[in-house]
Structure 1
Amino acid sequence: MRRRAAVSVSGMNALSRWMQHTMNARMNRKIRRGQGKFMGMDVLILHTSGRRSGQPRETPVTWFADGSDARLLVASGGGRRNPDWYANLMAKPEQASIELPGQDAAAVTPRELDGADRAQAWQRIIELQPRYAKYQSKSDREYPVVRLIPR
């Protein structure tokens, strides 16, 4: 009887990370060409620095308008835990910037919302994209909402 080779968790993790990196790079190219939509949602490139490595990171993320020039981000990360971009953003907020479709990077100040501010922003988000309410209902944690304010 022949045994099947076990697939290591780290091997699957490496494949998953490679796929994510490849898809992010493709989306970033589209955004830089002025195409800032994904599944009907607006997308920007979030520039952060790795919280441990200090290396620059560029992550495409969906965003929602919030008043004049501010943008709202939801740190859903697939439900189980906060995404890496969120941890990097909050660890080194002074290094944050964003690229909107076809524009140069602009510095922003991130502010995590709580209480009434978060509730109001969340209501706006789920009115625009009801799928976020569905994602949230499947998670044991409350998704952070971050306001990006131009500097």
Structure 2
Amino acid sequence: MAQIFSLEYPQSLGVHDDYETAQKAVDHLSDHGFPVESVLIVGTDLKQLERVTGRLTWGRVLLSGVLGGAWFGLLIGLLLGIFAAEGEWLNAVLTGVLLGVVWGAIIAAVGYATTRGRRDFSSVKTILPSKYELLVEHKHLARGQELLASMPGGTTSF
């Protein structure tokens, strides 16, 4: 799979401030018959962002475990219900949900207890690039620069 992300002697075709302008540049190249399969969009200057979404308490942790376990138990119960004897379908589903609730609460409680208060908040993480660089195989560099220079409102910096 790494081979699909490699180019033969890559050269910089330009740097963009956001993904949309990098995408527009590649689309412009494509519209003019450029071999876009030799282009790579690379996010650079990566930043990790973490948004704190709330405070964790035992109540929230257990509720989250119960709800997640119930969904998983429902899935398992429905799958087992397919193979259950006639009239036993509902029992299989209810048993799956009940076991999911119990195990979801236990697993959530054990996970929270092991942190010993070191992380009493919930959050969502993402990684965002600051810039997007277009790389192209060396043999197509001149043609790519020529096409991007003719692009209306081009914001590429070389």
TM-score by length of 2: 0.24
More helix by share: 2
Greater relative contact order (Cα < 8 A, sep 6+): 2
TM-score by length of 1: 0.25
